[in-house]
Every structure is written in C-alpha cells, then in structure tokens.
C-alpha cells in the first residue's frame, strides 16, 4: 500500500523508501542509527561436530563473514569494544549498538553458559540489545525461555539460518535440518513474543529461478520480523567449491544485472510487513571462487536496487497477495 501526498509517496512502513528497511525500522524504534557489532563467542555447530552432521553446510566458511576484530580468544566485552571502535570510525552517527552473536550456532551451549555470555554483552555501555544467530535445531524450550526473559528488558532477536524453503536443497547443501524444523522454531519463538529473523540464499544448486521466486510467497507466511538475503557466493576451501569445480553446469550463479531484476521481482511479492535487512552478501574477494560482482559495496548495491525500483515505480509487496 502506498499513499501519495504533496510531500511525495509514503509506504505502509511509514517512510518513502521502496522497501521496509532495517535501518529505518531501528530508527523508528530508537530515534537514531543502531549498528550491529559482531561477536565470535567460541560456539561450534552441531552440523560440524558430528551430533547432527559432519563436514558442515557445503558452502560454509565462517571466516569469510567474520570481521577481523572477532576472535573467540577475546572476551565478549573486548570484541564489542573493538567493534564499536571500528564502527565509530566508519559511521560516526551510530550511537547505540546491537551485539550480534554471529559465528556458528549461538544457542549451542548449556543455558547457564548462554545466560552469562548474553549478560556480558548486554552489560556493555551503549549495547541496547542482542541478535542471536543460530540453527533451527539448536533451540529448545529452556533456551527460548531465557531469551524471552531477556527480551522483556532489551531488544532481542533470534536469527535462524534457513537458507531455502525446499528440503531437496537443504539436503543437497547438507544443512542437516528440514524446512519444517525451521518453521517450528520460528513459530515457537514468535509465540513467546521473541523477535524472529531468518537468512536465505538465492542461487543454491538444483533450484530454478522460478522456485527461488516462489519462495517469496512461502516466506511471506512465516512469523518473521526481519529477513536477510544473500546471493550464493562460492567460497574457497568449501565442499561446494569442489562440487562447483567438478560440475560447474549445476550452478547458475547470479550475475549482477540478473540479480537486480530478480531481487526486485522477489521484493514485489514479499509481505510488506517483513523488515528487510540485507539484499546481498559481501564476502571479501580473497575468499571467492569465480568472478563475483566487482567492487560493489553493500550500500552501493542497496542504492542501485532502490534506484531501479524508482524507475519501475514499484515497491516491496506491490504484488503480495493478502
């Protein structure tokens, strides 16, 4: 829905950007820019240690996404301190921070360990909340109760790696969980009033472009507050890199022009109530196999997509079927 008044066009999320943007969402909650600071708290992952699977997801190399200040040898407080210094240099405007437990599965430990680590982050000055990245099979009632308890006092969101709505894909990339388990985790979390996020990848092997696009309708029905999307990037040293080298024809990696048009079509079909945090991923070029998209930074990509949406006079949810 959009309203045109003499100042311009205002969408149902309350501003004139053509999608329900994460940065604006936090601005509306806190009145200022809020910045995420990543943490590697030394967790591992049940899809690596043998309890759920071994070898991990075929595309996984956490080093490709972890900022350099994130090292599990450092305490949570030290990582937040260094992260804030890093971001202050880049974004002088940020005044509040979200501690982002990012690396591996950040609910994969006993509840008392989680309580201690989350508390340490929340006690750091200027940290107003937590984002907890995890797998759908790393959550249970006790952990959700802890998160609910913290949610009562600070902003807290659990961000689930879901990656695809299709079990055939999840199997192929060795995720070690099903789509149904992801839905169950989201529903349980949302029923307790916990903010939920999810992460998806476009371009996974075995999926057609049409199947990828159809996920907009499926994702739109999930109890999600926020969502992140990445285009598939093949990271050096992963099982997927080997697969790619053996059978490149199995992979249809998005070129930039194609992704731009695809992603806009996807956004047009996505529930406008879902806040969109990311459109693309940005692994450093030294980790990438293949060409990548040149030197485009995430903020430039967002501007290019918004500019194209202006040209097409379209917006998130324009084709969403209520």
* Residues 243, 58 contacting (CB under 8 angstroms): yes
Q: Is 199 in the site for ligand SF4 (CB under 6 A)?
A: no
Smallest distance, ligand SF4 to C-beta of residue 62, A: 6
Which 145-164 residues touch ligand SF4, going by CB under 6 A?
Answer: 161
Distances (CA, A) of 86 to 18, 90, 93, 94, 96: 30, 7, 13, 11, 14
Q: Is 135 in the site for ligand SF4 (CB under 6 A)?
A: yes
Smallest distance, ligand SF4 to C-beta of residue 264, A: 27
Which residue, among 295, 291, 290, has the nearest Cα to 241 in the 3D structure?
Answer: 290
Site string for ligand SF4, 96-115 (x = CB under 6 A): --------xx----------
User: What CA–CA distance (Å, rounded) separates 155 from 161?
Assistant: 20
Which 34-73 residues touch ligand SF4, going by CB under 6 A?
Answer: 45, 47-48, 56-57, 60, 62
Smallest distance, ligand SF4 to C-beta of residue 209, A: 23
Q: Is 144 in the site for ligand SF4 (CB under 6 A)?
A: no
User: What CA–CA distance (Å, rounded) separates 312 from 308?
Assistant: 6
User: What CA–CA distance (Å, rounded) separates 259 from 136?
Assistant: 27
**H helices present in 4-140, as ranges:** 22-30, 76-90, 111-122
User: What CA–CA distance (Å, rounded) separates 22 from 115?
Assistant: 27
Smallest distance, ligand SF4 to C-beta of residue 181, A: 12
CB-nearer residue toward ligand SF4: 48 or 230: 48
Q: Is 266 in the site for ligand SF4 (CB under 6 A)?
A: no
Task: Give the single-character DSSP code of 103.
Answer: S
Neighbouring-strand partners of residue 163: 200
CB-nearer residue toward ligand SF4: 11 or 104: 104
CB-nearer residue toward ligand SF4: 47 or 271: 47
Residues of this chain that bind ligand SF4 (CB under 6 A):
45, 47-48, 56-57, 60, 62, 104-105, 135, 161
């Amino acid at each position: 829905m959009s309203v045109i008044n003499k100042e311009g066009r205002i969408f149902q999320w309350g501003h004139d950007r053509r999608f329900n943007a994460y940065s604006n969402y936090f601005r509306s909650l806190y009145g200022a820019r809020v910045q995420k600071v990543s943490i590697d708290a030394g967790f591992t992952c049940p899809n690596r240690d043998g309890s759920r699977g071994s070898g991990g997801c075929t595309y996984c190399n956490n080093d490709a996404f972890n900022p350099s200040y994130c090292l599990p040898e450092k305490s949570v407080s030290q990582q937040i301190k260094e992260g804030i210094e890093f971001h202050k240099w880049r974004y002088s405007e940020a005044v509040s921070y979200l501690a982002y437990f990012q690396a591996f599965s950040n609910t994969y430990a006993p509840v008392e360990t989680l309580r201690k680590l989350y508390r340490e982050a929340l006690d750091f000055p200027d940290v107003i909340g937590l984002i907890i990245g995890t797998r759908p099979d790393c959550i249970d009632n006790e952990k959700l109760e802890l998160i609910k308890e913290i949610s009562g006092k600070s902003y807290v969101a659990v961000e689930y790696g879901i990656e695809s709505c299709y079990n055939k894909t999840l199997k192929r990339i060795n995720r070690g969980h099903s789509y149904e388990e992801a839905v169950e985790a989201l529903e349980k979390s949302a029923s307790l009033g916990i903010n939920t996020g999810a992460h998806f990848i476009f371009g996974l092997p075995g999926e057609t472009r049409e199947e990828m696009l159809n996920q907009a309708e499926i994702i739109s029905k999930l109890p999600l507050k926020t969502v992140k999307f990445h285009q598939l990037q093949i990271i050096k040293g992963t099982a997927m890199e080997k697969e790619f080298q053996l059978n490149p024809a199995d992979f249809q990696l998005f070129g930039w022009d194609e992704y731009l048009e695809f992603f806009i079509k996807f956004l047009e079909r996505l529930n406008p109530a879902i806040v969109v945090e990311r459109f693309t991923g940005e692994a450093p070029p030294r980790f990438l196999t293949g060409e990548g998209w040149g030197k485009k930074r995430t903020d430039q990509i967002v501007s290019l997509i918004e500019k194209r949406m202006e040209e097409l006079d379209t917006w998130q949810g324009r084709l969403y079927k209520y």
